[in-house]
Amino acid sequence: MQTARVGIARPVAQIKVTRTGTKADGPPGAARRNAILRGDCVSLLRALPEASVDLVFADPPYNLQLAGALSRPDQSVVDAVDDDWDKFADFSAYDAFTKDWLAAARRAMKPQATIFVIGSYHNIFRVGAIMQDLGFWILNDIVWRKTNPMPNFRGRRFTNAHETMIWAARDAGAKRYTFNYEALKAANEDCQMRSDWLLPICVGAERLKDERGRKAHPTQKPEALLARIMQAASQPGDLVLDPFFGSGTTGAVAKRLRRDYLGFERESSYIDAAQARIAAVEPLDADMLAPAPSKRAEPRIAFVSLIEAGLIAPGTPLTDAKRRHKATVRADGTLLIGGVIGSIHKTGALAQGLPACNGWTFWHFEESGALSPIDDLRQQARDLLREAAE
């Protein structure tokens, strides 16, 4: 959450943006990557080429509506968000701002692009409703559970220990958006990655400080959060847009993970801090970022193809892993079980009395006294195809 709040709209030709301290007239071009543009986020979003962005991460003002200073029990003042960029006249003004930047961001997204928007209970429900009104298709809401949240000093409410992210596709028809399912599952001890993420808030050496030792930005997000987002929903070389760039967490993580970034920010002090931070980042070796193999991306192999390739012969008996059920391979790629003929999936479901079954993992063949799933033969068939292509 940072400062690119909408002001009075101006024609695109009059927008002034800065990059490393130099001014430039006109909108950013299609090749504008790895840059921080200074200016109003809505105007800059509208100036982007249509369908040019692969991923959007947005941390907009939360509209916290703080009425006064917040104190700890010892009467020391909490360093809360009280900047002008988080102040709006009323909910209508906030909703109008939200609708403007979201509509402009949606226009800049490629058909397969997705967007993450993070917020608190103050704003995320309004943001979600506006996203749906604009045509976004919500894929998940993700709860960032903080291991070290700020306590509720007044003791009148529950501790605010989480923030919510909305992950959405550009529209309901989006089918080929990036989701690195296999990589996330492997990183999560071979369990599907859940929608609740337990991560600490930004502390220690990662927290940027100004020359007086104060926070350079009040709501700096942890790099671990952005790393998980990018590793989940982008590939190396993708363009990640952050219209509320702040202290540059998005840019720093993008550079480390070999993604390109584009950030919009109004405050010069934030831009300076972000540029220095990003300049110090060393990208990871490319081989450390190669996408994990995806079964969905592999060529489709029918069971009959295994017979045609000589990997399994008609008449071969198949069984489940516990040898409770038996079936016989037929020449046409179907199985025979108890007088019933069907696919590997339908016969597997029939054997178990279930409505559906993954026959590739249910049925096993025996070789040298050991059972192996027929999915192993499918992988051999894919290897043969790969060798033939080479």
Question: For 208-237, what is each residue's pLDDT tens digit?
Answer: 767 776 766 677 899 999 999 999 999 999
| Backbone φ/ψ region at 34: left (φ over 0), alpha (ψ -120 to 50), beta | left
pLDDT of 18 strictly over 90:
no
pLDDT of 75 strictly over 70:
no
- Residues 371-382: pLDDT tens digits? 999 999 999 998
The pLDDT confidence band at residue 124, using thresholds 50, 70 and 90, is: very high
Mean pLDDT, range 304-332, rounded to an integer: 96
Q: Which residue has the higher pLDDT, 296 or 145?
A: 145
Mean pLDDT, range 29-35, rounded to an integer: 74
Determine phi and psi for 265, rounding to 5 degrees.
-155, 145
Distance (Å) of CA 109 to CA 105, 167, 248, 305: 6, 14, 21, 40
Distance (Å) of CA 257 to CA 98, 112, 253, 335: 29, 20, 6, 47
- Residues 303-313: pLDDT tens digits? 999 999 999 99
Question: How many Å is the Cα radius of gyration of the chain?
Answer: 26
Tell which residue, 34, 85, 44, 41, has the closest CA to residue 63. Answer: 85
- Residues 91-102: pLDDT tens digits? 899 999 999 999
pLDDT of 254 strictly over 60:
yes
Rounded Cα gap, residues 326 and 353, in angstroms = 14
Q: Would you tell me how many other CB atoms lie within 10 Å of the CB of residue 143? A: 15
Question: Cα 110 from chain centroid?
Answer: 15
Percent of the chain exceeding pLDDT 90 equals 63
pLDDT reported for residue 58: 97
- Residues 266-282: pLDDT tens digits? 989 889 999 999 999 99
Instruction: Classify residue 215 by its DSSP letter.
Output: B
User: Strand (E) positions, 42-154?
Assistant: 53-58, 109-119, 137-146
Q: Which residue has the higher pLDDT, 86 or 315?
A: 315
Burial per residue of 109-138, b for 16 or more beta-carbon CB atoms within 10 angstroms, e otherwise: bbeebbbbbbbbebbbebbbebbeebebee
Rounded Cα gap, residues 374 and 319, in angstroms = 10
Q: Are 256 and 153 in contact (CB under 8 A)?
A: no
Helices (H) and strands (E) in the chain, counts: 11, 16
The pLDDT confidence band at residue 291, using thresholds 50, 70 and 90, is: confident
Element (H, E) at 131: helix 124-134
- Residues 42-58: pLDDT tens digits? 999 999 999 999 999 99
pLDDT of 10 strictly over 70:
no
Rounded Cα gap, residues 263 and 363, in angstroms = 51
The pLDDT confidence band at residue 30, using thresholds 50, 70 and 90, is: low
pLDDT of 292 strictly over 80:
no
The pLDDT confidence band at residue 72, using thresholds 50, 70 and 90, is: very low
User: Strand (E) positions, 125-236?
Assistant: 137-146, 162-169, 196-199
Distance (Å) of CA 73 to CA 80, 82, 158, 161, 251: 15, 20, 16, 19, 37
pLDDT reported for residue 202: 77
pLDDT reported for residue 334: 97
C-alpha triplet 252, 258, 264: angle, nearest 5°: 45
Structure tokens at 352: 């178990």
- Residues 132-188: pLDDT tens digits? 999 999 999 999 999 888 787 677 889 989 999 999 999 999 989 999 998 998 889
Q: Are 122 and 94 in contact (CB under 8 A)?
A: no
Instruction: Classify residue 350 by its DSSP letter.
Output: H
Which residues are within 8 A (CB) of 234 and not within 5 positions of it... i.e. 6 or more apart?
54, 55, 178, 240, 259
pLDDT of 16 strictly over 60:
no
pLDDT reported for residue 261: 97
Which residues are within 8 A (CB) of 84 and not within 5 positions of it... i.e. 6 or more apart?
none
pLDDT reported for residue 216: 66
pLDDT of 128 strictly over 60:
yes
The pLDDT confidence band at residue 87, using thresholds 50, 70 and 90, is: low
pLDDT of 2 strictly over 50:
no
Mean of all residue pLDDT scores within the chain: 85
pLDDT reported for residue 69: 46
